């Protein structure tokens, strides 16, 4: 396997060792780092008990990520009711590498948002204001909960591109069929669908087993994997005696069931001299998915970057996949997660 600082379309080939210098091209327009920092926790007081102390630590996570070559940040208008976007704006102010930062945010198509393209354009302008930028690199539909058709949403995304408010557009939580429909609709505007963001981890492999990842790659669409650490369950931090705090629904599996795979991950982590988190993220990269690892402080951000510079062997991947899980999904997740 070769280590490379080259640029690859959509995902890193399986014979390449990812490094911080490796770049992935989306929609033939933007270059992102092989690991993206997810910022859903930033500003969230309800689930992640955000505070002034958290803000200072998140700034350190931001700085650490950039110092390690991770320059891509994923946020959304609803994260912390906009506070995640505002936090990023503060953190990048006067930052020496501000010009290299790649920003992705999302539009939540609430059913009451019925007037398009104005509902989407107005929301995007509000995000731009919070982020303190004139244009984002990637603007995504947050979930397939809209009452209007995919064609209507595609027209609105196309308008956002034509207005110069975003460089590329993507979707999140779309099924294979919904993703293909959005791709086809955007093609009529001469616009490439850049990405489909879905939950993907060792505990939720559905996007791969359903064929969604392969269908995305066939069309030049990147797959962004959120919750690659299963909301902390795959970090090695938690156990049956010390379970994660309540309110973390994705990949909601009892920690008793996870101990065997965590033991295997600890063994692999020791072999490569990395953290358990790094093993979980490297697995996602090996499956052709770009992981969105969250980080609330500099230590977590640094652990995430430990996923780079090496690659799981096929035998190690097979061993990790020998553990099978069936996460319990609430009704709202089935409504929300089609992909």
CATH code at position 61: 3.20.20.100
Residue 339 falls within a domain, yes or no?
no
Residue 287 falls within a domain, yes or no?
yes
Residue 124: domain span: 2-328
Mean pLDDT of 46-59: 90
Q: How many structural domains are present in the chain? A: 1
Cα dist from 277 to 25, 213, 230, 308, 324, whole Å = 25, 22, 10, 12, 19
Residue 286 falls within a domain, yes or no?
yes
What band does 3 get if pLDDT is binned at 50, 70 and 90?
A: low
CA-CA-CA-CA torsion sign (326, 145, 288, 243): negative
What band does 63 get if pLDDT is binned at 50, 70 and 90?
A: very high
How far from each other are the two terminal CA atoms of the chain, in whole angstroms? Answer: 31
Contacts with 2 (C-beta within 8 Å, 6 or more apart), sequence order: 15, 16, 17
Q: What is the pLDDT of residue 250?
A: 76
* Greatest C-alpha distance within the chain: 55
Per-residue model confidence as pLDDT tens digits over 298-317:
999 999 999 999 999 999 99
Residue 264 falls within a domain, yes or no?
yes
Cα dist from 249 to 55, 120, 176, 252, whole Å = 23, 28, 23, 5
Cross-strand pairs, 172: 197
Mean pLDDT of 127-152: 97
Collapsed DSSP state (helix, strand, coil) of residue 31: strand
Per-residue model confidence as pLDDT tens digits over 4-38:
679 999 999 999 999 999 999 999 999 999 999 99
pTM for the model = 0.96
Residue 254 falls within a domain, yes or no?
yes
Please tell me the number of Cα atoms within 13 Å of 232 on its side-chain side: 17
Q: What is the pLDDT of residue 4?
A: 64
Per-residue model confidence as pLDDT tens digits over 96-138:
988 999 999 999 999 899 999 999 999 999 999 999 999 999 9
Q: Which long-range contacts (CB under 8 A, 24 or more apart) does 267-271 make?
A: 268/312, 268/316, 268/320, 269/236
Cα–Cα distance measured from residue 231 to residue 327, given in angstroms and rounded to the nearest whole number: 13
Residue 96 falls within a domain, yes or no?
yes
What band does 228 get if pLDDT is binned at 50, 70 and 90?
A: very high
| Catalytic residue IDs | 79
Indicate the pairing of strand 23-26 with strand 30-32: antiparallel
Residue 124's nearest CA partner among 142, 110, 136, 112 is: 136
Cβ neighbours around 274 below 10 Å, total? 20
What band does 59 get if pLDDT is binned at 50, 70 and 90?
A: very high
What band does 65 get if pLDDT is binned at 50, 70 and 90?
A: very high
* H or E element, residue 161: helix 150-162
Residue 335 falls within a domain, yes or no?
no
Mean pLDDT of 231-253: 83
Residue 72 falls within a domain, yes or no?
yes
Mean pLDDT of 196-211: 97
């Amino acid at each position: 396997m070769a280590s490379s600082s080259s640029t690859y379309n959509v995902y890193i080939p399986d014979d390449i060792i990812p490094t911080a210098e490796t770049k992935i091209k989306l929609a033939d327009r933007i270059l992102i780092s092989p690991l993206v920092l997810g910022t859903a926790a930033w500003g969230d007081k309800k689930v992640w008990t955000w505070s002034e102390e958290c803000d200072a630590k998140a700034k350190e996570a931001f700085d650490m990520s950039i110092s390690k070559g991770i320059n891509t940040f994923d946020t959304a208008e609803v994260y912390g009711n906009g506070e995640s976007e505002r936090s990023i704006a503060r953190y990048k102010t006067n930052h020496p590498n501000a010009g290299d930062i790649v920003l992705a945010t999302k539009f939540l198509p609430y059913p009451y948002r019925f007037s398009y393209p104005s509902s989407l354009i107005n929301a995007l302008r509000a995000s731009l204001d919070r982020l303190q930028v004139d244009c984002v690199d990637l603007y995504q539909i947050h979930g397939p909960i809209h009452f209007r058709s995919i064609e209507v949403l595609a027209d609105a995304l196309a308008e956002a591109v034509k207005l110069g408010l975003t460089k590329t557009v993507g979707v999140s939580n779309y099924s294979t069929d919904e993703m293909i429909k959005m791709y086809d609709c955007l093609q009529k505007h001469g616009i490439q669908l850049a990405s489909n963001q879905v939950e993907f981890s060792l505990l939720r492999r559905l996007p791969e087993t359903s064929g969604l990842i392969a269908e995305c790659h066939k069309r030049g669409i990147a797959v962004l994997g959120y919750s690659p650490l299963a909301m902390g369950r795959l970090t090695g931090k938690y156990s049956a005696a010390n379970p994660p705090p309540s309110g973390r629904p994705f990949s909601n599996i009892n920690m008793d069931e996870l101990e065997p795979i965590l033991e295997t991950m600890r063994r692999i982590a020791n072999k490569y001299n990395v953290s358990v988190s790094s093993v979980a993220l490297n697995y996602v990269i090996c499956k052709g998915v770009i992981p969105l690892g969250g980080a609330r402080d500099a230590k977590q951000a640094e652990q995430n970057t430990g996923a780079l510079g090496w690659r799981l062997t096929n035998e190690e991947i097979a061993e990790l996949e020998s553990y099978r899980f069936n996460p319990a999904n609430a009704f709202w997740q089935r409504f929300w997660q089609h992909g």
